[in-house]
Amino acid sequence: MAKKSDYFGLDRIISIILAIIPITSAVCGVITRIKEGAILAGILRIVLGWNIIYIADIVLMILKGRILRILDI
């Protein structure tokens, strides 16, 4: 069985595919952070997510299986 990952507990391979596609990466990242209760972090992902956080999410999803947490609240 594949290791569970950050996007809604999906398998790591599926999460990596979602992280590679820019639109799904942004949407899944915002939903994940808001679901965790970090509203401010979700808003920051909306503002910064198209450039900076997108690249960091891809790298971290491949290496660690989790997304970048700017505010780890």
Digit-by-digit pLDDT tens for the chain (73 residues) are 456 567 788 888 888 888 888 888 888 888 888 888 888 888 887 887 667 778 888 888 888 877 777 666 5
Two structure tokens written together for 17? 């595919």
**What is d(CA 41, CA 72) in angstroms, rounded to the nearest whole number?**
8
The pLDDT, as a whole number, for residue 54 is: 82
| C-alpha to C-alpha distances, 38 to 53, 54, 66, nearest whole angstrom | 16, 18, 16
In a domain, 69, yes or no: no
Question: If phi over 0 gives left and psi between -120 and 50 gives alpha, with beta otherwise, what is residue 4?
Answer: beta
**What is d(CA 52, CA 48) in angstroms, rounded to the nearest whole number?**
6
In a domain, 6, yes or no: no
Two structure tokens written together for 2? 């594949």
Domain that holds residue 44: 14-63
In a domain, 7, yes or no: no
Q: Which residues face 4 on adjacent strands? A: 11
How many domains are there within the chain? 1
